[in-house]
Structure 1
Amino acid sequence: MILGAFAGVSLTTGLADDSFLSPAVPEDGRSALVIGGIGMGGLTGLFLPLILLGLVRGTEEKPRLRTAEALRKVLAVLVFDVYLLAVSVVVAQLGWVLPEGLTVLLSVFVIGFSWMPLALIPWERFGLTDVGARLGSRNGSDSNKPD
């Protein structure tokens, strides 16, 4: 996770300094991209090894991930990374009107809590629930039944 955060910071500072985004990111908003890179890289560094571990390890309660499920989860992590990067770029625009210290403070809260609306979406309506819960409901086991 820490290595992923360092890689995310390196990527976002490169985007802010040496890429097509450099004219769009003000000097006082550069730190918002760094904060977004920490979140993006840390998330990827945490979940990617866990997904890969899920491909090779499994128990009777939680079976191994199938390749399609693992790819779907990796894609979901990457989509969320792009979401965090987009939020970081939007928050970096505050650097045009606010001083750097205030931009840093606001970016920590905005980027840190930007995932909250995604947590409120009822993902089970879209069929994006946990694998173990789906397998348990298919087998007829109901956790609400008394023992």
Structure 2
Amino acid sequence: MAFAAGFVLVLAAMTLGAFAGVALTTGLADDSFLSHAVPEDGRSSLVIGGIGVGGLTGLLLPLILMGLVRGTERKPRRRLRPTEAFRNTLALLSFDVYLLLVSAIAAQLGRFLPEGLTTVLSVFAIGFSWMPLALIPWERFGLTDTGARLGAADDSDSHGPG
């Protein structure tokens, strides 16, 4: 029952986040100082970026918050420490800014290409822009928790009697 409730909560947050991201980026493209920087045929690129930003934030933020309160007295699980949760949230917001920058750059294709072609190219540019970030060996910079086993309890009894 708890899994179903958590799943529905995360799915709803992801969907509402995507809608909020679209509203935010549409407002940026139409009513803000960026309206002069975004060509009319590139406006859909910001909307695509808004879907990614809102959906990703809506998916991961509830999971980070649930990681803070994970486990019970009877069945303890590894919880996120507040510093880890803050670092994860900061990384998520940094990635959101990165996606918005990529979508603003992809929107500039609208100056040279028609809207349909700009939209198709923006989907690929924004959708695959995270791949270089995934190929960076973050553990060499000390930015991962290599000693932590996610999902496993930290019991000494789990290896057998002893």
Q: TM-score, normalised by structure 1?
A: 0.87
Q: Does 1:94 align with 2:97?
A: no
In structure 2, C-alpha distance between the alignment counterparts of 1:135 and 1:32, rounded to whole Å: 38
Equivalent residue letter for 2:39 = P
Q: Tell me the alpha carbon deviations over residues 114-133 of structure 1, each in whole angstroms, 9 at most, x when there is no partner.
A: 00000000011122224xx4
Query: 2:57 maps to what in 1?
Result: 44
Identity over aligned pairs, percent: 76
The counterpart of 1:27, out of the listed 40, 49, 61, is 40
Query: 1:74 maps to what in 2?
Result: 89
Question: Which residues of 2 match residues 56-67 of structure 1 at below 5 A?
Answer: 56-58=69-71, 63-67=78-82
Pairwise CA distance, 1:62? 5.0
* Runs of 4+ with >2 A deviation: 58-62
Q: Does 1:124 align with 2:104?
A: no
In structure 1, C-alpha distance between the alignment counterparts of 2:102 and 2:80, rounded to whole Å: 31
Pairwise CA distance, 1:49? 0.2
Q: Tell me the alpha carbon deviations over residues 12-47 of structure 1, each in whole angstroms, 9 at most, x when there is no partner.
A: 000000101000000000000000000000100000
Query: 1:109 maps to what in 2?
Result: 124
In structure 1, C-alpha distance between the alignment counterparts of 2:95 and 2:77, rounded to whole Å: 25
| Contact 2:21–2:53 (8 Å) recurs in 1 | yes
| Contact 2:22–2:47 (8 Å) recurs in 1 | yes
RMSD of equivalent CA atoms: 1.8
Query: 2:159 maps to what in 1?
Result: none
Query: Aligned to 2:94, what secondary structure does the other structure show?
Result: helix
Equivalent residue letter for 1:109 = F
Relative to structure 1, the CA distance from residue 126 to residue 61 in structure 2 (aligned partners, 3 Å threshold; closer, same or farther) is: farther
Q: How many residues align?
A: 136
Pairwise CA distance, 1:61? 8.4
Q: Tell me the alpha carbon deviations over residues 66-116 of structure 1, each in whole angstroms, 9 at most, x when there is no partner.
A: 111100000000000000000000000000000000000000000000000
Structure 1: runs of 5 or more not aligned: 142-147
Q: TM-score, normalised by structure 2?
A: 0.79
Relative to structure 1, the CA distance from residue 129 to residue 17 in structure 2 (aligned partners, 3 Å threshold; closer, same or farther) is: same
Query: 2:147 maps to what in 1?
Result: 134
The counterpart of 1:2, out of the listed 6, 9, 15, is 15
